[in-house]
Amino acid sequence: MEKVHTTCVYCGCGCGLFLHVEGGSIVGASPSPAHPMSRGRLCIKGWLAGDFVGHPERLSYPLLRQGDRMVRATWDEALSLAAAKLESIRKEFGPHSLGVLTSAKGTNEENYLLMKLARAALKTNNVDHVARLCHAPTVAALGSALGSGAMTGSFSSLQNSDAILIVGSNTTEQHPLAASYILHAKSRGAKLIVADPRRTRLAELADLWLSPRPGTDVVWINALLNVIVEQDLVDRQFIEKRTTGFEETAEAARAYTPGQAEQISGIAAPDLARAAELFGAADRAAIVYAMGVTQHAQGTDIVQALANLALATGNMGREGTGIYPLRGHQNVQGACDMGALPTVYCGYQSISSPAVRAKFEDAWKAPLPEEPGLTALEMLWAAEAGSLKAMIIVGENPALSFPDSYRVLKALKSLEFLLACDIFPTETTALADILLPAACFAEKEGTFTSTERRVQRVRKAVEPPGEAKAEWEWISELMRRLGHQADYPSPASIMAEIASLTPSYGGIGYERLAAGGLQWPCPSIDHPGTSILHTDRFPQGRARLRPVLYDEPPEMPDADYPFILNTGRSLYHFHTGTMTRRTSLLDREVPTPFVEINSEDARLMGIREGNRVRVETRRGSINAEARLMDALPRGNLFLPIHFSEAPANALTAQAIDPLSKIAELKVSAARLHKVIS
């Protein structure tokens, strides 16, 4: 038996684990005791990470569409056809008619190559990935406030916090190892403040639980800042030395009085005062947040409001302080870092800077497009409108994971050409003209970057099934067929190119990535990596506070649709469930789609635990099993996104954050019926 050390494929915590290999297949998994972050611990998904790998339903041969059927083809046929199709569409309709969706599940090397393929070979900046639907507001808001959109500290730093404010993150379920650090901090005496409409596990354990009405975060965060300023719990020295914009921001926050906050957000004024005291008086306070903050039409503003709070109190750049956005996919950080975004190259270097573009044109030996590309949803709407003709979608299932699925399906169907690549058949691959079988994380070499900026190795433990291939291999091949040079003997050589073009990855090379990886920025080969950002300066010099004003969520409950529908995840499943629902123990934990309903609401409607109910919004309806929850406030519903038979995104709203283009996924007006069967 061999044990291959690698990185977990599920969430952004980035735990280290061993895959146990025997006779060419994976027979188990176990945690790595010496990993600097996970230290011998894993969540249940990590323990079972190798389980789906050898599943008989894996895609194992390239397939081409012939009418309604998919027929087996060789790689050569599939890639020749793909190149020919993409070329002819580009000739006829121009490069703007092409788009690429990369995968937050893919490696850094693959994301880099796909974004290079889009820009250098297809000549379009239409490249994006699922971060648009999770942390685009983080990248936008923290990028402008702090100069970097990433987590400012490391998980281990939370051990030294005196107070931790957790907003919109069901951490024990979504990021269990982050929760581990938070719980340990608490047992050492740190105060926990949890803001979440649901009474989550952490809310139960917290010193203070705030339950804002969904979508009203800007109000209570501003009011919290207001109280902190009034009580002079701000850090004057930090504000003066290291920030700009404090006065205007404080001034704008003054309009948000505790009384008003109570009225709009439902958080009682004394609770807010207590929060101000716990957070403001702490020497070292940290803010942890996740999709409950970002997946809103005002996502960018909410993140900015949190940044204002951290900056005004001087909680930045020291152990135990900082802002901790928890990223969902194991490599969504890396996909962003690699420039799988329509406006930046790798390392967030702007495509609109002539100097940057010249550097990449020089390195890639190709002229590059100037015009910013479309975001993920914009690409789909362009497809719907007929201006985008062809897409490459790698390791992503927008038909289920993107909001308003009916419209997404329609958009995908109206494409003239869809090249999809995945490990399992999905709702999206069902629409492909060419379907390529991918190697999964256990079958290839590469790197993932965790949410704490830790670049870590992914190692090949077993061979891919059938003719499935690592994406970097076919992407290089497709690039060559599109007339662009791409001679990469291995992922290590791709990383060498990434390092040469990406200042924050400048010192990263495979030979340096031992069990614990390296945290970027790591600009040179003798640099040890960076555990805490902004210790003495921000990338742009000073951090920027910016006033933010509350906008009502675009869709509020009304007489027709009296419930607020919230969507999210379960501990036992991941994304659209393609891997976890094929892991028997995880599937057994949560085998069927469910919707959480407040117990009292359910009682009044005559709904019992386990009853089938229909959830409807203005966009669609689904059936699911009722789960009665005291932890959910009245008038709220919660629906997980993992189930294709009850696609939550058939219901979600279209409203888009103007700043980051994320969709409103947390607040939709809904109604509920008991299904009589």
Partner 1 sequence: MKAFLEKDRLIPFLNTLSRQIEVIAPLATEAGAVYSTWQGQPLDLRSNPLSPPTEFLLPHKETLFRYIQESGRYTFKEDSIPPRLLFAIRPCDLHAIALLDRIFGSEPSDQAYFRRRRATSLVVLNCTNRGDECFCACLGAGPEAQDPCDLEITDIGDGYLCQAETPAGVLILQAAFNLLQPAQLEHDQEKARRLQLVEDAMPRDRSYHQIRQAIERADWVALGQECLGCGGCSFVCPVCHCFNILDRGVPDGERLRCRDSCILSGFSRLTGGANPRRTAGQRLRHWYQDKFEDLPKITGLPGCVGCGRCHLVCPAPIDRSDLKVESREAKI
Q: Shortest approach of partner 1 to residue 206 CB, angstroms? A: 11
Which of 28-36, 313-321, 534-542, 658-666 is the region at the interface with partner 1 (rule: CB under 8 A)?
A: 28-36
How many residues contact ligand SF4, by CB under 6 A? Answer: 12
Contact flags string 192-231 toward partner 1, x per CB under 8 A: ---------x--xx--------------------------
Q: Which of 134, 439, 162, 184 is nearest to 294 (CA)?
A: 134
β-partners of residue 284 are none
Q: Which is nearer to partner 1, 49 or 400 (CB)?
A: 49
- What Rg, from alpha-carbon coordinates, does the chain have? 24
Closer to ligand SF4 by Cβ: residue 37 or 229: 37
For position 174 contacting partner 1 by CB under 8 A, the verdict is: no
431 binds, among partner 1, ligand SF4, none (CB under 5 to 8 A by kind): none
Sheet with strand 454-458: strands edge to edge: 446-449, 454-458, 518-519
Sign of CA dihedral 243, 244, 247, 249: negative
Contact call for residues 455 and 36 (beta carbons, < 8 A): no
Answer yes or no: are the C-beta atoms of 113 and 474 closer than 8 Å.
no
- Which residue's CB is nearer to partner 1, number 44 or number 269? 44
Is 10 an interacting residue with respect to ligand SF4 (CB under 6 A)? yes
Q: Which position among 4, 8, 275, 590 is part of the footprint of ligand SF4 (CB under 6 A)?
A: 8
Site for ligand SF4 in 11-30 (CB under 6 A): 11, 13-15
Among 36, 46, 328, 464, binds ligand SF4 (CB under 6 A): 46
Give the 3-state DSSP-derived string for 507-531, with helices as H, strands as E and coil as C: CCCHHHCCCCCEECCCCCCCCCCCC
| CA pair distance 657, 291, nearest whole angstrom | 14
Q: Does 5 contact partner 1 by CB under 8 A? A: yes
Q: CA 615, CA 593: separation in Å to the nearest integer?
A: 12
Give the whole-angstrom CA distance, residue 579 versus residue 48.
Answer: 10
Contact 340, 373 (CB under 8 A): no
DSSP state of 158: G
Extended strands (E) in 290-327: 322-325
φ/ψ of 90, rounded to 5, equals -65, -40
Taking residues 175 to 194 in sequence order and writing x for each that binds ligand SF4 by CB under 6 A, - otherwise, the string is -xx-----------------
Cβ closest to partner 1, residue 28 vs residue 620:
28
Q: Which window, 487-495, 580-588, 636-644, 647-655, contacts partner 1 (CB under 8 A)? A: 580-588
DSSP 8-state code for residue 357: H
The answer for residues whose C-beta is within 8 angstroms of residue 592's C-beta and 6 or more apart is: 624, 625, 643
Q: What is the number of other CB atoms lying within 10 angstroms of the CB of residue 166?
A: 28
CA gap 83, 607 in Å, rounded? 54
Cβ–Cβ under 8 Å, residues 667 and 553: yes
The binder of 14, among ligand SF4, partner 1, none, by C-beta within 5 to 8 A per type, is ligand SF4
Look at residue 16 and give its three-state secondary structure: strand
Using the rule CB under 8 A, give the single segment among 13-21, 292-300, 356-364, 529-537 that binds partner 1: 13-21
**Stretches 8-16, 268-276, 541-549, 665-673: which one binds ligand SF4 (CB under 6 A)?**
8-16
Question: Judged by CB under 8 A, does residue 121 bind partner 1?
Answer: no
Strand pairing of 344-345 and 349-350?
A: antiparallel
394 binds ligand SF4 (CB under 6 A): no
Residue 579 CB, shortest distance to ligand SF4, in Å, is 11
537 secondary structure, DSSP code? -
Residue 675 binds partner 1 (CB under 8 A): no
Q: Which residues contact 349 (CB under 8 A, 6 or more apart)?
A: 339, 356, 359, 360, 502
10 binds, among partner 1, ligand SF4, none (CB under 5 to 8 A by kind): ligand SF4
Which CB sits closer to partner 1, 23 or 67?
Answer: 23
Q: Which of 5, 35, 45, 661 binds ligand SF4 (CB under 6 A)?
A: 45
Residues 631-670 that bind partner 1 (CB under 8 A): none
Q: Which residues make up the interface to ligand SF4 (CB under 6 A)?
A: 8, 10-11, 13-15, 42-43, 45-46, 176-177
Site residues, partner 1 (CB under 8 A): 1-3, 5, 16, 18, 20, 22-23, 26-35, 40-44, 46-47, 51, 55-56, 172, 176-177, 179-180, 183-184, 186-187, 201, 204-205, 514-515, 571, 584-585, 588-589, 609-610
